[in-house]
Amino acid sequence: MIEIQSLTKRYRDFTAVDDVTFTARPGRVTGFLGPNGAGKTTSMRVMVGLTPPTSGSALILDRAFTDLPNPGREVGVLLDASAQHAGRTGREVLTIAARTMGLPRQRVDEMLDRVSLTEHEAGRRVRNYSLGMRQRLGIAAALLGDPSVLILDEPANGLDPAGIRWMRDLLREFADDGGTVLLSSHLLHEIEVIADDIVVIGNGRVVAQGTKDELLAAGGTLVRAADPAALLAALQAAGLKARAGAAGVVLAEAELPVVGRAAFDAGIALTELRAADGAGLEEMFLALTAESQRDHLSPGSTSNGAAA
């Protein structure tokens, strides 16, 4: 289990992570979503002891990562597949890690086979690996110690469609066997397919979290007005369940006519009123993180690819 409580990380006047709280549970895949620069990687670096938090806590298996006696045997980590020693072979990278963790030599062969790196590929220098091969090697290193927790930042980068399917099946099997998976990715379709729970972060803050089914079902109606705070108050006063999103968006768990009538009765002129459900994870992601998107889409527009 991973427990993040009021986690904050500041760099002088810049707040990269702002009071983030969530839990990734055993037996489930938790998707960690947000635009570039939203705070995902910083949060993960704090979790694995690479970056000290300004305040708050990040516990893995009820302890800070740095307090784990043999971290690799309990937590598998892949934050940057390109950070591996370029002058060593893939086999050497895994062999050194295995010795550090006190693992038998045959464990290296088992992991090479599990991630489908051939004997020839294992003998090549990492500098000559494609990004997809580096990702496979990084996943092998994360799994090497037979951990119960996986923390993976963009593990599908560089993988072809077959490789992405392979990774998805591997992580699903890991979770189904009782493991905890925290997965960051900009490939929203892959998250939608594999994730059980979703945490959405924007500008360093959690803007939504819950089970995938809950978040997608709660799409309801997306509505905007010149004064979003007044709109939110009016909908709630009318007995509707509604929450504020980014960029003035209000998401209401009610049918379109009901939301429109509540706004009309309160004398609030709407600038947008449309169904928010049925568009899947991408639409929800864009609505919740619009304020922190680098590329701003006009109302009603959609993107053909993954957004992040």
Q: pLDDT digits over 61-70, tens only?
A: 999 999 999 9
For residue 42, give both structure tokens. 């910083």
pLDDT average, residue stretch 10-21: 93
Domain boundaries, the chain: 2-210, 218-307
pLDDT of 288 reads: 64
Checking if the pLDDT of 304 tops 60, the result is no
Whether 105 has a pLDDT exceeding 70, the answer reads yes
Mean pLDDT of the chain: 86
Q: Look at residue 308 and tell me whether its pLDDT is greater than 50.
A: no
pLDDT at 82: 80
Q: Which of 182, 139, 208 is nearest to 28 (CA)?
A: 182
pLDDT, one tens digit per residue, over 271-300 is: 988 876 544 566 667 666 666 555 544 444
Taking 90 as the threshold, does the pLDDT of residue 244 lie above it?
no
Q: Check: CB of residue 240 under 8 Å from CB of residue 258.
A: yes
Q: How far apart are CA 2 and CA 29, in angstroms?
A: 11
CATH architecture of 2-210: 3-Layer(aba) Sandwich (3.40)
pLDDT tops 90 at residue 9: yes
What average pLDDT does the segment 22-37 reach?
92
Confidence of residue 245 (pLDDT cuts 50, 70, 90): low
* 10-19, 206-215, 230-239, 275-284: the lowest-pLDDT one: 275-284
The string of DSSP letters for 267-300 reads TPPEEEEEE-TTSHHHHHHHHHHGGG-SSPPPTT
User: 197-202 and 205-211: which strand pairing?
Assistant: antiparallel
The more confidently predicted of residues 44 and 276 is 44
Structure pTM? 0.76
Grade residue 303 by pLDDT with cuts at 50, 70 and 90: very low
Dist. CA 122–CA 239, nearest whole Å: 61
Distances, alpha carbon 176 to alpha carbons 29, 42, 104, 181, 259, in Å: 9, 28, 26, 10, 40
- pLDDT bucket at 218, cuts 50 / 70 / 90: low
The helix-helix angle for 228-237 and 256-265 (nearest 10°) equals 100
Nearest alpha-carbon partner for 75 in 121, 24, 12 = 24
Pairwise CA distance, residues 53 & 60, whole Å: 15
pLDDT at 92: 96
Higher-confidence residue of 7 and 186: namely 7
State pLDDT tens for residues 126-160.
999 999 999 999 999 999 999 999 999 988 888 88
Which DSSP symbol is given to 201? E
Average pLDDT over residues 100-113: 94
Residue 307 confidence (pLDDT): 35
Coil, helix or strand at residue 53: coil
